[in-house]
């Protein structure tokens, strides 16, 4: 059995220079991979390129780039470039995001996320193999024909540069059953947010098995990148403050990230077995009562998706994550200063099998 990897997400609300100033300390503490997010923020690509020059061993992952605002060919080119400047340490994390970002910020229709993601994968791997790019799908056509609005002058092209790797690892952020099945079928890695290991089989087991049945053995085992938070502390007050932050973070997503019937995170809470709480959290959040929304989250869920508490308790939770299928812990360190956050990451490295 391979060693569980330790990952760490980098906040898109913090400046890249501030992050780069301490990233080497996290690398030395045992972080295997960092995930650079992108919302309606600074782009992730420029930050990943900057971090590539400030690190030597850790992998660098886009966590995530959406499949709408860049063309599939541009996603492939970008990944090849980041893999080159990092010396083969890049992971291309993809996701559909949601209508709020795709339509509200980028002005692009949020349509057919599953089919578009599949086509993006096909295009990326064609580009990395340096094959002439020809793709004729319902959502992506290259070269663009006259029938689809093209000039008729385009011809298949091959990537000029030779990529460091002809298969850059692909990771899919996915929660819905069809997208989870797609991750298990086509991707090297799958990133589920708010991973509750004891309930993971109920929420994800069937689609993972479905996708695995169609998986190319050449992809290797699926890397399950479980998003979580970590704070190793013997201070009960510090523990409670950290749990409050997790609770507020959960409430934002379960309650406020999407309208009724179109909130993937609320759906996940239901699949985890908390339908009444999910409805109450959403009622409060959409009603402008975020504090009540956070209070309505079950303690079992808040603790179940996090790694917060004394060292012995965190060790038990890490073991539960491993037993529940997680192979990478993408753990956001909590704590009120850099030293505390760094110590928690170092402790997690020691505790992980």
Fold adopted by 1-173: TIM Barrel (3.20.20)
Predicted confidence at residue 332, as pLDDT, reads 97
Residue 12: both structure tokens together = 């898109």
Predicted confidence at residue 272, as pLDDT, reads 98
Beta-carbon contacts of residue 318 (< 8 Å; ≥ 6 apart): 4, 307, 329, 348, 351, 352, 353
Closest CA to 277 of 252, 251, 256: 251
Predicted confidence at residue 1, as pLDDT, reads 54
Q: Which run of H or E residues covers position 142?
A: strand 141-142
* Interstrand relation of 223-232 and 141-142 (parallel, antiparallel or unpaired): unpaired
SS3 string, 148-188, reads: HCCCCCCCCCCCCCCCCCCCCCEEEECCCHHHHHHHHHHCC
Sign of the Cα pseudo-torsion (274, 254, 268, 272, in order): negative
**Which residues, given as ranges, of the chain have pLDDT below 70?**
1
Beta-carbon contacts of residue 101 (< 8 Å; ≥ 6 apart): 39, 40, 66
Predicted confidence at residue 164, as pLDDT, reads 98
Concatenated DSSP letters of 256-325: ISS-TT--HHHHHHHHTT-HHHHHHHHHHHHTT-HHHHHHTS-HHHHHHT-EEESHHHHHHHHHHHHHTT
Separation CA 179–CA 169 (nearest Å): 17
Predicted confidence at residue 234, as pLDDT, reads 97
Residue 316: both structure tokens together = 């038990």
- Cβ neighbours around 214 below 10 Å, total: 11
Residue 233 burial by Cβ neighbours in a 10 Å radius (0-12, 13-18, 19+)? buried
Separation CA 171–CA 123 (nearest Å): 15
With beta carbons less than 8 A apart as the criterion, state whether 347 and 31 touch: no
Q: Which run of H or E residues covers position 331?
A: strand 328-333
Name the CATH superfamily for 224-353: Luciferase-like domain (3.20.20.30)
> pTM for the full model?
0.96
Residue 114: both structure tokens together = 């599953």
For residue 292, the number of C-alpha atoms closer than 13 Å in the C-beta half-sphere is: 10
Closest CA to 175 of 104, 98, 230, 252: 98
Predicted confidence at residue 193, as pLDDT, reads 95
CATH 3.20.20.30 in the chain, residues?
1-173, 224-353
Residue 343: both structure tokens together = 């110590």
């Amino acid at each position: 059995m391979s060693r569980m990897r330790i990952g760490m997400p980098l906040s898109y609300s913090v400046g890249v220079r501030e992050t780069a100033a301490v990233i080497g300390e996290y690398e030395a503490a045992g972080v295997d991979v960092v995930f650079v997010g992108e919302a309606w923020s600074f782009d992730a690509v420029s930050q990943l390129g900057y971090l590539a020059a400030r690190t030597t061993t850790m992998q660098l992952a886009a966590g995530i780039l959406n499949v709408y605002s860049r063309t599939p060919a541009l996603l492939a080119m970008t990944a090849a470039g980041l893999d080159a400047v990092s010396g083969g340490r890049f992971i291309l994390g993809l996701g559909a995001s949601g209508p709020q970002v795709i339509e509200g910020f980028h002005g692009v229709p949020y349509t057919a996320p599953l089919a578009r993601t599949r086509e993006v994968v096909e295009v990326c791997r064609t580009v990395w193999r340096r094959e002439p790019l020809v793709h004729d799908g319902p959502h992506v056509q290259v070269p663009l024909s006259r029938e689809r609005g093209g000039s008729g002058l385009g011809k298949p092209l091959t990537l000029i540069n030779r990529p460091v790797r002809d298969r850059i690892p692909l990771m899919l952020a996915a929660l819905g059953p069809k997208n989870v099945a797609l991750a298990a079928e086509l991707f090297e890695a799958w990133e589920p947010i708010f991973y509750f290991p004891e309930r993971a089989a109920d929420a994800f087991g069937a689609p993972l098995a479905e996708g695995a049945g169609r998986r190319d053995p050449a992809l290797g085992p699926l890397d399950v990148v479980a998003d979580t938070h970590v704070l190793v502390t013997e201070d009960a007050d510090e523990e409670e403050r950290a749990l409050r932050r997790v609770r507020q973070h959960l409430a934002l997503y379960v309650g406020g990230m999407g309208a009724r019937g179109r909130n993937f995170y609320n759906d996940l809470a239901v699949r985890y077995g908390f339908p009444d709480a999910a409805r109450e959290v959403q009622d409060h959040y959409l009603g402008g009562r975020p504090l009540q929304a956070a209070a309505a989250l079950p303690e079992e869920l808040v603790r179940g998706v996090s790694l917060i508490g004394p060292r012995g308790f965190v060790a038990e939770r890490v073991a539960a994550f491993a037993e529940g299928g997680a192979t990478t812990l993408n753990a956001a360190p909590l704590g009120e200063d850099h030293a505390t956050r760094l110590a928690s990451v170092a402790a997690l490295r020691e505790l992980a099998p």
